């Protein structure tokens, strides 16, 4: 009988020790492991009025402060992102708005002839469309939409993009050398492609010194067309070749770093890609899109 009582007492003591020490330790260990894995929503909860309980309450208080800190950082990040987006939009629209103002003054000035005013009116419409496309392009960073991909001759699109980039840089003297394979066609949304290439060419001109040179190349590579823009500027360090496509990341002293992010977003929405290729000096950006077949070629394949 005495042995049985001793056994019962031992079992009871063991259970009491488990409840007071081992179980709280396990709960504390599980909670800390989840916190270590990044789960700040965990609460260990009350595990008794012991030293372990006080430690658990301290851990819960710490995670509560961390949660509040995380919420504050998220709020600050959202506010900062909105501010950067506003700055980026202002930067992207400022240049075309300045150009539009110049054309509007021509339209309102009777000293200009009818032909000059017609040209100014056509250019004004084009810049208004550019502003509209910029806003739509910004939306592709947040919510990529449908694109109208069709076969297009490449050279007219290149000329439109270069002309738009020239207007953006306000007469900076940089030569643009063209090395274009003849009769190239690509499958693209013409408006979005022009906007993307304009941003890349503008970036190249801005990176160049006055009197410098930008090389514009285009060639067919398999079933793709590669349009490359190469400048003689300071170049892009290898570690930065992906980061420069992040919104608001820029190594320039001016600008917001939004142009290349927009360009990549537009290319990807069209099934293409934009890469910063390694080059010995300067920077080289390559725009890749599928080859555009002629209508008669498509008919022959049916």
Q: In this predicted model, what pLDDT tens digit does every residue of 33-59 receive, in sequence order?
A: 777 777 777 777 776 666 667 777 777
What is the predicted pLDDT for the residue at 254?
A: 43
Say how far apart CA 259 and CA 276 lie, in whole Å: 14
Task: Note down the domain range covering 166.
Answer: 150-301
Say how far apart CA 159 and CA 161 lie, in whole Å: 5
> What's the mean pLDDT in 189-216?
92
C-alpha torsion sign, points 73, 79, 83, 84: positive
Q: Within this chain, do residues 36 and 174 fall inside the same structural domain, yes or no?
A: no
Contacts (Cβ under 8 Å, ≥6 apart) of 184 = 153, 154, 155, 218, 219, 220, 225
> What's the mean pLDDT in 139-152?
71
Q: Within this chain, do residues 157 and 272 fall inside the same structural domain, yes or no?
A: yes
Say how far apart CA 28 and CA 23 lie, in whole Å: 9
**CA dist list (Å): 63 to 24, 46, 120, 131:** 18, 15, 63, 47
Asked whether residue 88 is domain-assigned, the answer is no
Contacts (Cβ under 8 Å, ≥6 apart) of 181 = 218, 219, 220
What is the predicted pLDDT for the residue at 140?
A: 59
Q: Among 22, 49, 73, which residue terminates a domain?
A: 73
Type and span of the H or E element at 177 = strand 175-180
Q: Within this chain, do residues 155 and 292 fall inside the same structural domain, yes or no?
A: yes
Q: Within this chain, do residues 67 and 159 fall inside the same structural domain, yes or no?
A: no
Give alpha helix (H) positions in 143-269. Answer: 154-168, 190-207, 259-269
Does 5 score more than 50 pLDDT?
no
| SS3 call for 66 | helix
Q: Among 73, 99, 134, which residue terminates a domain?
A: 73
Asked whether residue 254 is domain-assigned, the answer is yes
Enter the pTM of the model. Answer: 0.58
């Amino acid at each position: 009988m005495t042995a049985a009582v001793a056994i019962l007492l031992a079992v009871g003591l063991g259970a009491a020790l488990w409840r007071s020490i081992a179980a709280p330790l396990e709960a504390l260990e599980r909670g800390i492991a989840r916190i270590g894995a990044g789960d700040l929503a965990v609460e260990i909860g009350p595990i008794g009025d012991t030293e372990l309980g006080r430690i658990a309450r301290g851990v819960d208080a710490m995670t509560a402060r961390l949660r509040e800190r995380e919420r504050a950082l998220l709020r600050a990040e959202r506010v900062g992102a909105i501010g950067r987006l506003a700055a980026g939009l202002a930067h992207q629209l400022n240049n075309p708005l300045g150009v539009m103002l110049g054309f509007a003054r021509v339209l309102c000035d009777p000293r200009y002839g009818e032909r000059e005013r017609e040209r100014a009116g056509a250019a004004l419409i084009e810049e208004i469309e550019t502003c509209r496309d910029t806003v739509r392009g910004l939306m592709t960073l947040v919510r990529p939409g449908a694109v109208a991909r069709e076969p297009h001759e490449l050279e007219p699109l290149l000329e439109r993009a270069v002309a738009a980039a020239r207007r953006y840089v306000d007469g900076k003297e940089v030569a643009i050398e063209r090395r274009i394979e003849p009769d190239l066609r690509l499958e693209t949304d013409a408006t979005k492609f022009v906007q993307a290439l304009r941003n890349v060419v503008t970036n190249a001109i801005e990176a160049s010194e006055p009197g410098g040179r930008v090389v514009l190349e285009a060639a067919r590579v398999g079933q793709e067309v590669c349009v490359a823009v190469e400048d003689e500027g300071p170049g892009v360090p290898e570690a930065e070749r992906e980061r420069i496509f992040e919104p608001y990341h820029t190594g320039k002293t001016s600008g917001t770093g939004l142009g290349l992010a927009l360009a990549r977003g537009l290319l990807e929405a069209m099934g293409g890609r934009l890469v910063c290729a390694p080059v010995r000096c300067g920077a080289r950006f390559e725009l890749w899109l599928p080859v555009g077949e002629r209508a008669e070629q498509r008919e022959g394949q049916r």
